[in-house]
Amino acid sequence: MKKIETKKAPKALGPYSQGVANDNFCFVSMELGIDPATGKLAAEDAVGQAHQAIKNVENILDSAGFKLSNVVKATLYITDLNDFTSINEVYGQYFTNKPARSLVVQSAMPIDAKVALDVIAYKIEDTTEEQDYYTR
């Protein structure tokens, strides 16, 4: 298991890793819309935070050799269901592969964030197995 750390995403706010990778899987911890350069939320609004949270996830994945297109499962956390439509539009701009997703509406998040995202990514190194599967 490889611990993932990159300066292109905010440091973990607690005793956990930004992510871990093992073989063909990468698990990214819940990322808030924190600007890694300032350590503060990148925006006050949910849309701006959604963009930054996804960029943080993307940078963590990239540091482990994965891409957003490798994401097979995402969990999106929001604090206000009224923001769902606009956050969903932002999400759709980045996740064109349409991975499985869960939505959690919760009353509060660290540093009063409005949006957070965690993901599981999977990539196939040898496409032979994938091709065999699709030809069956």
Please give the full DSSP string across 40-95, using - where no structure is assigned: EES-SSHHHHHHHHHHHHHHHHHHTT--GGGEEEEEEEES-GGGHHHHHHHHHHH-
Residues 20-56 have pLDDT tens digits of: 999 999 999 999 999 999 999 999 999 999 999 999 9
Of the candidates 76, 68, 83, the residue with the CA atom closest to the CA atom of residue 26: 68
**Per-residue pLDDT at 136 exceeds 50:** no
Amino acid letter, residue 116: A
Average pLDDT, the chain: 93
The pLDDT score that the predictor gives to residue 135 is: 47
What residue spans define the domains of the chain?
Answer: 2-135
The pLDDT score that the predictor gives to residue 12 is: 87
How far is 48 from 55, CA to CA, in rounded Å?
A: 11
**Are 116 and 29 spatial neighbours (Cβ–Cβ below 8 Å)?**
no
Q: How confident is the model at residue 13 (pLDDT cuts 50, 70, 90)?
A: confident
Residue 133, token pair as written in the block: 């599967």
3-class DSSP state of 129: helix
Residues 6+ apart with CB under 8 A from 61: 19, 26, 28, 67, 68, 70, 71, 119, 121
Residues 55-112 have pLDDT tens digits of: 999 999 999 999 999 999 999 999 999 999 999 999 999 999 999 999 999 999 999 9
Pick the CATH number of 2-135 from 2.50.20.10, 1.10.600.10, 2.30.30.100, 3.30.1330.40: 3.30.1330.40
Strands 100-105 and 71-78: parallel
Residue 1, token pair as written in the block: 């298991």
**Per-residue pLDDT at 1 exceeds 70:** yes
**Per-residue pLDDT at 122 exceeds 80:** yes
